[in-house]
Amino acid sequence: MGASLRRLGRRHILSSLPLLATVGCSPAGIVNALVPNRGYTLMKDVVYGEGPRRKLDIYLPEKISGDTPVVVFFYGGEWQYGSKDIYLFVGQALAARGVIAIIPDYRVYPEVKFPGFLEDAAAAVAWAKAEAPRYGGNPDKLFIMGHSAGAHIAAMVAIDPQWLDAHGMKINDLKGLIGLAGPYDFLPITDPTLKIIFGDPSEWPKTQPINFVSAHEPPALLLTGTADKTVDPGNSPRLAKAARAVGAKVEVKEYDNIGHIEIIGSISWPIRFLAPALSDTMKFLAEQTGLPLGS
């Protein structure tokens, strides 16, 4: 597809989303309606802890070998909202390429403040490691992935050891971290609601992934869009620089003219041409596992 055609397609699809939303269709609903209904089996509302928001969905590939890698994906929503049901397009994309995708819900504000959502995320990851063999997954090929606030949550769980320690795990039990448009170094906090969520300013440094980098953390792939107006694109290279300085392995991919929603949207079939987020993710998974995964 030529550059001019890509621009035309992008303008057409993105300009259509607000119009469709006015007639009762959310952008995610539109994308999910176009997702192929093949290539996976969905197991919904599997319980990983107490309470209505401690459930997860599992997307199983058609072929499972017992060596199948597992990705736990955390969605964004400013630590205040979101639902696993919205991310069918993520689960299908990964499962259709030979990966078991697990998408948990987790508690958000006002039910919890920091670190409640991290506690839930660590519990979901520990559940995935313990239960992976039951679904044909390899617990030694376990990855965590997230977008936006979900990338912050994934990074905290992968980098700050206390959250997995609480479940008898170590951060090097993870095979890798994949972050899309994540806030990893976002002080000072200025938004009034986020000030409540993250508490006393004297404690804010404990909320930042960049402050916990170590040589023991798993390899990471950080994806960001240069046109992101929601999360400063500089978060990804800053985290990578800090992590590399202590001997960690981090790769950064920056996509020109891609914004905060476009980067996660590009995982979905209808608008995958926007950015190679899915193919870059699959390449990273293949490199870390040594498996011939789909691209």
Choose among 60, 57, 71: nearest CA to 38.
60
Instruction: Reduce the DSSP state of residue 283 to 3 states and report it.
Output: helix
Question: Which H or E element spans position 144?
Answer: strand 137-147
> How do residues 17-36 score in pLDDT, each as one tens digit?
443 333 344 667 777 877 77
Domain definitions of the chain by residue range: 1-33, 36-289
Residue 203 in this model has a pLDDT that exceeds 60 = yes
Cα-flanking dihedrals φ and ψ of residue 246, to 5°?
-105, 10
Residue predicted with more confidence, 34 or 44: 44
Domain 36-289 bears CATH identifier 3.40.50.1820 = yes
How far, in Å, CA of 287 to CA of 220, rounded?
A: 12
Give the pLDDT band of residue 141 (cuts 50, 70, 90): very high
How far, in Å, CA of 29 to CA of 265, rounded?
A: 12
